[in-house]
Amino acid sequence: MESIKVGLLGLGVVGGGTWKVLARNAREIARRAGRHIEVSRVAVRDVAKARKLLGPDVAVGADPFEVVRDPSINIVVELIGGDTLARELVLEAIAQGKHVVTANKALLAKYGNEIFAAASARGVMVAFEAAVAGGIPIIKAIREGLTANRIEWVAGIINGTTNFILSEMRSRGLPFATVLAEAQRLGYAEADPTFDIEGIDAAHKLTLMASIAFGIPVQFDRAYIEGITQLAAEDIKLAERLGYRIKLLGITKRRPEGIELRVHPALVPTRSLLANVEGAMNAVLVRGDAVGQTLYYGKGAGEEPTASSVVADLVDVTRLLTADPESRVPHLAFQPDAMDDTPILPIDDVVTSYYLRFSVADQPGVLADVTRALANGGISIGSMIQQPTDSADTAELIFLTHEAVERNVNEAIAKIEALPFVHSRVTRIRMENLA
């Protein structure tokens, strides 16, 4: 049987890994796919360097549009990143009747609705397992493995850079800036780490998981995003003392009023599965009504882990090349005409628990006024700690609340900060039990 011809756009970390995996496991992959999968054409910036790696049998050039317009190419693999040129190339590949495999979470989070609609109209597939959590097959798990379930929520550690930073801050007691520099030295963080440390990368991934979990359009612009740059080492230590660890979580929940879609640091109980995910690893918890909780754990980035997902998509597409488009798994799990317009809830409407820390004058009546401000907002206190500070006439209060509406918590915080005996801003970190 004739080989499947693949056009590869980009030969960086993931592209190079894809080439290695396809070459090393060619026979095993062919046995599974039913046909050989052959990279026949590559577009790269450094043509000479690529030719040394790929050898004489692969056509190498600098123009990616030549690849997507090549009539011999069956599948285009987009690994160049970004969302401008990549969008043009993916849409052109679809227009040319080619199937697409991509690891570009930013592209799909911003333009996924447009891309999937174009692919459906043209009868081609867009596969994106590698776009979320690297080598963890979370897209396939939610889209296919859990298809019998009504998904209740998805929550996970989906950015290895931030998880490494928080793990190091906790275990070594180092400040954020020091650990970030170490992450950059080790290659876990880019020279410009903004997308990672500000939670944007995690939000891209969460947006895609929310769409396939709940059958809603891709809506990255409605996600609430909060990074880890403002976390203090003191709060990480206190969380540990209280039986929690702080993780940057992506959380999406189905509620009667709408869908929660949020990325932010959160306290999670040390006994929980997510609390024990350390270093640069990723983990995703999914709760379905029939199956309960399921956990997916592994390397969320890296050359070959991500390539593993790219190649898995290539095999899936190869198997389904001759299938009727209506027989294929829909891009976002649900049939296109069955997607819901369920609203994304603003962060003010989110319901969760809270960790609150602030300094006050050590004098009678303080605690009563603070608890009154919380009670007036309908916020119930789970536990409270008072501890001394460096100043003899100042104390630090730490509250752990029961579940409350964020809007009410924000109003209570404003009232607390306005009290004359409060000497600091209120540090607020959300808490998630994920039960």
Which strand (E) or helix (H) includes residue 396?
strand 394-401
The answer to whether 98 touches 74, Cβ cutoff 8 Å, is: yes
Give the contacts of 107 (CB within 8 A, at least 6 positions apart): 78, 82, 83, 86, 87, 90, 115
Contact present, 263 and 249 (Cβ < 8 Å): yes
* CA dihedral sign, ordered 217, 219, 224, 229: positive
How far apart are the C-alpha atoms of 331 and 116, rounded to whole Å? 7
**Cβ-based neighbours of 434, under 8 Å, separated by 6 or more:** 153, 155, 268, 272, 274, 285, 287
Q: Please, what is the Cα angle at 144 between 268 and 79, to 5 degrees?
A: 80
By 3-state DSSP, what share of the chain in percent is helix, strand and coil, each rounded to 5?
40, 25, 35
Cβ partners under 8 Å of residue 234, min gap 6:
none
How far apart CA 197 and CA 234 sit, in angstroms, is 18
- From the list 302, 283, 278, the residue with the least C-alpha distance to 209 is 283
Alpha-carbon torsion angle 303, 306, 307, 311, nearest 10? 180
Catalytic residue annotation: 205
